């Protein structure tokens, strides 16, 4: 176990540097950041329109919802780049070459994870600049709660990155990885929608098979709440909206545990499947 999870810091650092610089030199991050901030801008314009229409808005954190919208967009981008990160290298055969050197699974995965998180930290810088400028232009407060939300988002994004890496470790083709990611997210969505619809039907009016289905979906839906990384994102943002310090702390803790567990599983799967997987 000790050798399996031992990190080679120098190797990991080299891998992080290589991947991070490569991602910074590409257009993906900047386009994703632009799209996410543009989505926020539309929400903010609508907010300001509502203030003019209704005369007032009472809020302690008017920028939190636009941040949440940006986060959802950027999370999809990070989920896709993390889900293809391992499978692409398997697909192209570079992973096999890499593993002839002093690289082990845990160092490799840690490097991928750190690279994605560093990319998100670049995004965090964009958030600070963007929301600072928005606050200056519109007079909407750049509150302490927004800073807390941005800080929490680092942990929530960690769940999305580790989820992407986990799926990537399971697949050996880039296209299959993306199909799996989209498919899993669609299943999560379908279960939630179906469950919500069944809840809105009268219990006594349901046939016994639908009743069992409702109970099953209730359990599955509850389980998805702990499996889907987007549920962590949703819960985290809710803890900010509620203003509960306990939930905020729990969100960080759950995200750390979730990321750790998925990364460990990813290492084990990558080891079991091998570099040609």
Partner 1 sequence: MKKSSLFFTLILALLLGLLVSRGLAQAPPIREQLVYSLNVFDGKTYTSGFCPRGEDTIYIIANENNAITARTTLVYFWPITARYMAGFKTLNEEVEGTLELLRDGKVIASLEKEDNVVFYPEGYFAENSKMYLHEEAHAFLQKYEDATKEYYVRIDEYYEETREYREAFEEFLESIGERREAGEELSRTQVEAQMPKQPSPPEGVRFYTTPVSKQYILDLPQGTYQIRLRARDGTIAQDSQKNLVAFVRRRGGTIGYEITPGNRWTMKENSNDPSRTIYASGRNTLYLRPFLQDEYNDFYYNKLLDPQNVGTSERWIWVHTTPIKNALLDLLSKGKLLEKIERAPYYVKQIPGPELGYEILEYKEEEFPERSPSFEGHKLEVSSVSGRGKYDFRLEKGEGEVMEGSEREILFVRKEDTNLLHIISIFPLIVGVVVFIQRKRRAS
Q: 229: closest CA among 195, 261, 198?
A: 261
Largest CA distance in the chain: 66
Dihedral (CA of 245, 39, 181, 110) sign: negative
Q: Which stretch binds partner 1 (CB under 8 A): 98-106, 147-155, 187-195, 222-230?
A: 187-195
Q: Which stretch binds partner 1 (CB under 8 A): 93-101, 107-115, 149-157, 183-191?
A: 183-191
Q: Which stretch binds partner 1 (CB under 8 A): 37-45, 113-121, 158-166, 269-277?
A: 37-45
**Contact (CB, 8 A) for 127 and 67:** yes
**Contact (CB, 8 A) for 97 and 180:** no
Q: Smallest gap, in angstroms, from Cβ of residue 202 to partner 1?
A: 4
| Cβ-Cβ contacts under 8 Å for 253 (sequence gap 6 or more) | none
| Cβ-Cβ contacts under 8 Å for 271 (sequence gap 6 or more) | 4, 105
Length of the chain: 277
**Contact (CB, 8 A) for 181 and 86:** no
Q: Which stretch binds partner 1 (CB under 8 A): 77-85, 109-117, 175-183, 256-264?
A: 175-183
- Cβ distance to partner 1 smaller for residue 2 or 25: 25
Q: Does 212 bind partner 1 (CB under 8 A)?
A: no
Return the residue of 14, 141, 154, 268 that touches partner 1, per CB under 8 A.
Answer: 141
Q: Smallest gap, in angstroms, from Cβ of residue 205 to partner 1?
A: 7
Which residue is it, tokens 């632009």?
34
Give the DSSP letter of residue 101.
S
Q: Does 272 bind partner 1 (CB under 8 A)?
A: no
Q: Does 124 bind partner 1 (CB under 8 A)?
A: no
User: Which parts of this chain interact with partner 1 (CB under 8 A)?
Assistant: 24-25, 27, 29-31, 33-34, 37-38, 40-41, 44-45, 48, 51-52, 54-60, 62, 126, 129-130, 133-134, 137-141, 176, 179, 183, 186-187, 190, 193-194, 197, 199-205, 239, 242, 244, 246-247
């Amino acid at each position: 176990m000790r050798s399996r999870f031992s990190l080679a810091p120098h190797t990991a650092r080299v891998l992080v540097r290589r991947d991070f610089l490569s991602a910074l030199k590409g257009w993906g991050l900047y386009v994703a950041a632009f799209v996410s901030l543009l989505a926020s801008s539309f929400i903010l314009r609508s907010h300001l329109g509502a203030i003019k229409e209704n005369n007032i808005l009472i809020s302690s954190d008017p920028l939190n919802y636009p941040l949440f919208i940006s986060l959802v967009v950027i999370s999809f981008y990070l989920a896709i780049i993390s889900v293809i990160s391992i499978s692409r290298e398997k697909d192209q055969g570079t992973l096999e070459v890499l593993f002839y050197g002093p690289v082990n699974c845990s160092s490799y995965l840690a490097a991928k994870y750190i690279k994605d998180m560093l990319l998100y930290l670049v995004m965090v810088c964009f958030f600070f600049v963007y929301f600072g400028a928005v606050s200056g232009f519109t007079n909407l407060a750049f509150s302490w709660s927004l800073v807390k939300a941005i800080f929490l988002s680092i942990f929530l994004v960690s769940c999305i990155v580790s989820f992407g890496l986990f799926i990537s470790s399971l697949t050996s083709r880039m296209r299959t990885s993306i199909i799996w990611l989209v498919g899993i997210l669609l299943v999560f969505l379908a279960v939630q929608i179906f469950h919500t619809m069944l809840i809105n039907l009268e219990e006594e009016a349901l046939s016994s098979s639908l009743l069992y289905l409702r109970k099953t979906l209730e359990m599955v839906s509850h389980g998805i709440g702990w499996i889907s990384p987007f549920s962590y994102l949703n819960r985290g943002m809710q803890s900010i909206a509620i203003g509960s310090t306990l939930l905020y702390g729990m969100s960080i803790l759950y995200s750390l545990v979730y990321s750790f567990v998925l990364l460990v599983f990813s290492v084990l799967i990558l080891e079991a499947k091998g570099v040609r997987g």
